[in-house]
Structure 1
Amino acid sequence: MNIHRRLRGVAYQAFYRLPHSVRRRIVRLVVPKYLVGAVAIIRDAEAPDPGRLLLLRQPPGRSWGLPAGLLKKAEPPAVGAARELAEESGVVIAPEELTPAVPNAIVHPKGWVDTVFLGSVPASANPLVVDGGEVLEAGWFPLDDLPRLTRNTEVVLGIYGLGPRATQPTR
């Protein structure tokens, strides 16, 4: 056994002898930190193929993105996705009606993780309501004629085979 392995073993033994609260503080200092968000990819249940997608225009307002936001402490991801969807667009959907996308989590290189959920609602029965501050505008867009998207939205949609990066590498 080499010296590095032996030292590593001794370090782990010492670490696990520490009280749980001390180990937790050490881990929080050493491990990279990530913000965790929830994203909703919502389709219009009434639209013919290829379908329509709900998008939002947020400040500064040059590109369009998906309903999304950070999770609150201890908030289940599907609950956060449903909450952000309602807050940002006025579309109300129960968390249990959202389906976890596959993959469900996307780790972004700049330090956040998005949990992604899929859903559909009939656009005619769900009027779009925005606050004019956090969200400037919301709309339903044909998947084959999407407006200018934020880079992150292009990446996320591309992972699920949608949008301009559907056939391109995601990073």
Structure 2
Amino acid sequence: MTIPWGTNQLRRLGEALRDNREPPESCPPYRHVMIWFDALAATVLEEIRQVDWTPIVGDIPFEVVSRSKTIDTLRQKLRRDRHTPLQNVQDIAGVRFEADMTLTTQDAVVREIALLFDHDPDDPRVVRDLRSDPHKRVSRCSSLAPIAGRARRGAGAHGASGRLGERLRDRGRRHREGDPLRSDSR
């Protein structure tokens, strides 16, 4: 799927989101951008679900889930790194492969996801190993092929509680700060 908007349009939309102001008329509406990324994530999710993972994970229960960044988390990310434009944010929408698996199994899952989308799993632009970062609470490796597909260890209740925690934090921020763009058509 080719993104239907130009780099400058997305950059200007990202700047408006980051600065909490109305996007210029030349920008695509925020909701249209998110619908496109959600559709891409749904496609990736289905392709990952179609794989027979038994040779890699055996009988370990796993879950393949998808989640888009909320406007709040996207805005925070754009504010944290003011030099990363919207079109370069890797995880606007992501797909996670969650299971309680060993690091070796996690590596094999990430490798398979990269190969599934015809990407080189040894290319650091495709696979980013975040497991050595002491600030990460969950061990994970990301395959950026074609959108963030993550293989996570220690999922199960932890993954579900993490997703619930993200939703509650997002809801709390919207309640505290108000969000004029949340209900706006842009």
Fold equivalence (TM over 0.5):
no
TM-score normalised by L of structure 2: 0.24
Report the structure number with the largest CA radius of gyration.
1
TM-score normalised by L of structure 1: 0.25
Please identify which structure carries the higher helix content: 2
Please identify which structure carries the higher strand content: 1
